[in-house]
Amino acid sequence: MFKTLNNDPNAMQKGRRTVFIVSDATAITADTLAHSVLTQFSEFEYDQHRLPFVDTEEKALAVANRINEVYEATGVRPIIFSTFINQEVDAIFTSECKAFRIDLFRSFIQELEQEIGLKSAHSMGRSHVIADQERYNRRIEAINYTLAHDDGQMNKGLNEADVILVGVSRSGKTPTSLYLAMQFGIKAANYPLIPEDFDRGELPEVLQTMRHKLFGLSIAPERLSQIRNERRPGSRYASITNCTQEIAAAENMMRREGIKWLSSTTRSIEEISATILAELKLNNAEMV
Amino acid sequence: MFKTLNNDPNAMQKGRRTVFIVSDATAITADTLAHSVLTQFSEFEYDQHRLPFVDTEEKALAVANRINEVYEATGVRPIIFSTFINQEVDAIFTSECKAFRIDLFRSFIQELEQEIGLKSAHSMGRSHVIADQERYNRRIEAINYTLAHDDGQMNKGLNEADVILVGVSRSGKTPTSLYLAMQFGIKAANYPLIPEDFDRGELPEVLQTMRHKLFGLSIAPERLSQIRNERRPGSRYASITNCTQEIAAAENMMRREGIKWLSSTTRSIEEISATILAELKLNNAEMV
């Protein structure tokens, strides 16, 4: 079960820890939290186990025992990142576990209860929060919308888009659109800018009345050439000359048309998406 | 700027608060955290503002002033969810802001520094953590893989999949595959089970050697019929009779072939994805 630890006799000496990400639901929030916190410690070495759906006292006791066994075997306290709604489960970890625990809900929810004078579902003993069904449906609808409006494949319904990403082929439009849909429920269409558009010197006609919701992605020619070469090695399409020309033409067009844009070269999808939301003031986001 | 507050004279009386989600990076972690915590308070009413990239002292002061203005206008402390790496920015919020602040990094990172005896990037005054480039590239590669292997469109490379979702058309395979790719860097292909497969009584040939990484999605016939009717209203494809037959045949096939499966009817994409990872022991996940 603890393969890495058992196989590595130096684990203890190096102070290598075992991290448990545990939740009575999906453990995705706890995982995000753990990742955000642990990336702050570049020298920290650890083995990680993710245990979702620990939602009964029986499962909680089994996990607590397992964690205690790690403590006994390694001599250092395991680290737990948890998000428990179920109070019985939470109590078992508090009383039974010889570990260092960071629980998102325990600390923040208690503080917030005091601040706003309301009881949380947690305090009321509700083990399942009623999901935010409307928000969820909006996300699913956005994903379907984005898939149907990827790469300019459907003009119908473009007027429903929250944002339409434009840019040359392989500039990062598709992953960004999907992230916007999935994470934020944003209907993100994307539309390629192609050599014919540059020759004509005009935006594709269907986009001309939608300038206010266009957002451009550009990319360094060298990086674009590299990406295109993976798909079509040695092609004119992938050549640095062609990529340089297309990028210059696309950036000119975006400047001329007053379209906000950024370069995706050194930015993550999360950074690009957060910037787009803030620039277009979507989902309560704003650029300061 | 505070449209809802200004337009709603009852805001104060109702104890309505203003929530600021602020970060010196994308604010996505802070947003996830805020959402997780706030959904625990079903009766809590608030207006929300998301302010990413507050990464200079100047911007921090501007935001702090704005937050203090909300306090003065409403008479109740705004609530801040923040994740600051930049110490100067953090210090400004601590000293200048009349608000109730929950900061993910301040509390947890300090506690963890003591526990593991290492300094965080935060403490070392590094304002940007070096991104986990390998993890990021893996996610992008997974998204591209998943898009190329959606709906059985490409058999080539199926052996590289971490998981292959199977199920009847519109059972939820595509959004789940994309979520697995985007959130976890999982190469998730998906393959439809169609009436021809049921007539033949066998899995599609290409899947027969890959049983160990198949995972099935089923769905209640009524729900399936509803979803299909949105796409092809009144069709035989969408009829409840046909949906009931396809679902029964698919579930029989999955049972017979020993494929783990679940019903997507009442589960969110996150729940389905977390279950798949734990059942197939992917990404350090395990089912307890």
**In the A/B pair of chains, how many CB contacts fall below 8 A?**
201
B87: number of Cβ within 10 Å: 15
Give the global pTM: 0.87
Joined together, the tokens standing for residue B190 give: 């998906």
pLDDT confidence bin for A39, thresholds 50/70/90: confident
More confident residue, B235 or A110: B235
Q: Is A274 on the interface with B (CB under 8 A)?
A: yes
Taking residues A16-35, report their average pLDDT: 92
User: Does position B5 have pLDDT exceeding 60, yes or no?
Assistant: no
**Of the candidates A212, A209, A177, the residue with the CA atom closest to the CA atom of residue A191:** A177
Return the pLDDT at A127.
Answer: 47
- Closest B-chain CA to A39: B129
Return the pLDDT at B131.
Answer: 57
Return the pLDDT at B124.
Answer: 66
Mean pLDDT of chain A: 90
Return the pLDDT at B1.
Answer: 34
Query: Are B152 and A81 spatial neighbours (Cβ–Cβ below 8 Å)?
Result: no
Closest CA of chain A from B274, distance in Å = 5
Mean pLDDT of chain B: 90
User: Does position B253 have pLDDT exceeding 80, yes or no?
Assistant: yes
pLDDT confidence bin for A1, thresholds 50/70/90: very low
Taking residues A66-85, report their average pLDDT: 94
Q: Residue A114: which residues within 8 A CB-CB, separation 6 or more?
A: none
Return the pLDDT at A105.
Answer: 78
User: Whole-angstrom Cα distance, residue B91 to residue A197?
Assistant: 49
| Chain A partners within 8 Å of B107 (Cβ) | 107
Return the pLDDT at A179.
Answer: 95
A81, β-bridge pairs = A21, A102
pLDDT confidence bin for A86, thresholds 50/70/90: confident
Nearest to A63 among B27, B174, B288 (CB): B288
Taking residues B183-197, report their average pLDDT: 96
**Of the candidates B134, B19, B36, B80, the residue with the CA atom closest to the CA atom of residue A31:** B36
Report the C-alpha dihedral over residues A81, A106, B110, B135, rounded to 10 degrees.
30
| Chain B partners within 8 Å of A33 (Cβ) | 29, 33, 104, 108
Closest CA of chain A from B200, distance in Å = 31
Return the pLDDT at A93.
Answer: 96
| Chain A partners within 8 Å of B54 (Cβ) | 288
The mean-pLDDT minimum among A22-26, A252-256, B12-16, B213-217 falls in: B12-16
Give the three-class secondary structure for B79.
Answer: strand
User: How far is Cα of residue B52 from the mean position of the Cα atoms in its chain?
Assistant: 19
More confident residue, A126 or A178: A178
Q: Choose the mutation target among B18, B36, B153, B271 for the interface with A, i.e. most A CBs under 10 Å.
A: B36
Return the pLDDT at A135.
Answer: 83
Taking residues B164-181, report their average pLDDT: 96
More confident residue, A2 or B156: B156
**Of the candidates B143, B175, B145, the residue with the CA atom closest to the CA atom of residue B160:** B145
For the segment A217-239, what is each residue's pLDDT rounded down to a tens digit? 999 999 999 999 988 999 999 99
ipTM: 0.85
User: Does position A198 have pLDDT exceeding 50, yes or no?
Assistant: yes
Percent of chain B with pLDDT over 90: 76
Closest CA of chain B from A201, distance in Å = 31
Percent of chain A with pLDDT over 70: 91
More confident residue, B128 or A30: A30
Return the pLDDT at B165.
Answer: 98
For the segment B93-121, what is each residue's pLDDT rounded down to a tens digit? 999 999 999 988 778 888 899 999 998 87
Return the pLDDT at B8.
Answer: 46
Nearest to B43 among A118, A139, A270 (CB): A118
